[in-house]
Structure formats: C-alpha cells, structure tokens
Amino acid sequence: DAKTTQPNSMESNEEEPVHLPCNHSTISGTDYIHWYRQLPSQGPEYVIHGLTSNVNNRMASLAIAEDRKSSTLILHRATLRDAAVYYCILRRRDTDKLIFGTGTRLQVFP
C-alpha cells in the first residue's frame, strides 16, 4: 500500500490559516488523496478528497502538487474546534479500505 508522510504535530493560532503538508511519493495514477480528522474521543471525520485538481469545500481546501507526490490541506481560519489529528490517506480504486498513518496532531491556541 502506498504510504504517506506527515509531520507529527503542528501549531496554529486561532483565526490564522493552517497548511498541513503530506508527502506521498509512491502514489499511483489511480489513487485518490483523502483527508480525515479525528477529534478527541470521536471516530475519524471525512474532510476532503481529490485526484488531480485542487478542491474546495465548506471545511477546507486541498492543494495537490502537479506531480501528485505531495498535497496540502488548508484550513483558512483555524478555530479551537479544529484541534484534532489530521490523517492524509491514499485510497486505491481496487480495494475499498483506508490505510491510516499516525497523522498530524494540530494544536490551536486562542
């Protein structure tokens, strides 16, 4: 399974933008890039996904490098409720399972 690499932790101040990086140099042409986040004592929550083009939704934006070997999840204005572990995952078309890494723990300070 293709692997992703993320920083263990990041910090941000409230109302500032946050850029969470992810490297996935072994990505294949049919892998989708998915992001989930997990708040304390809860199950993971879907955030966003993409294949080649940048994507926006109400929660975040996903910027995908042209060679697809890296991506960045962008939270435009961090809030205290965004403090969570963020997982970058490659989802293969031929198998319906998500392979989680250890993710990035985001701390948001008031």
Footprint on this chain of other proteins (rule: CB under 8 A): 32, 34, 36, 41-47, 49, 85, 87, 91, 93, 95-103
| CA distances from residue 41 to 38, 45, 85, 88, 110 in whole angstroms, order as listed | 8, 12, 11, 19, 22
> Looking at beta carbons only, is 10 or 14 nearer to other proteins?
10
> Looking at beta carbons only, is 61 or 91 nearer to other proteins?
91
Minimum gap (Å) between residue 32 Cβ and other proteins: 6
Minimum gap (Å) between residue 43 Cβ and other proteins: 3
Minimum gap (Å) between residue 93 Cβ and other proteins: 6
Which amino acid appears at position 100 of this protein?
Answer: F
Distance CA 61, CA 67 (A): 18
> Looking at beta carbons only, is 18 or 90 nearer to other proteins?
90
Instruction: Give the closest residue to 50 by CA, choosing from 78, 90, 86.
Output: 90
Asked if residues 24 and 3 have their Cβ atoms less than 8 Å apart, the reply is yes
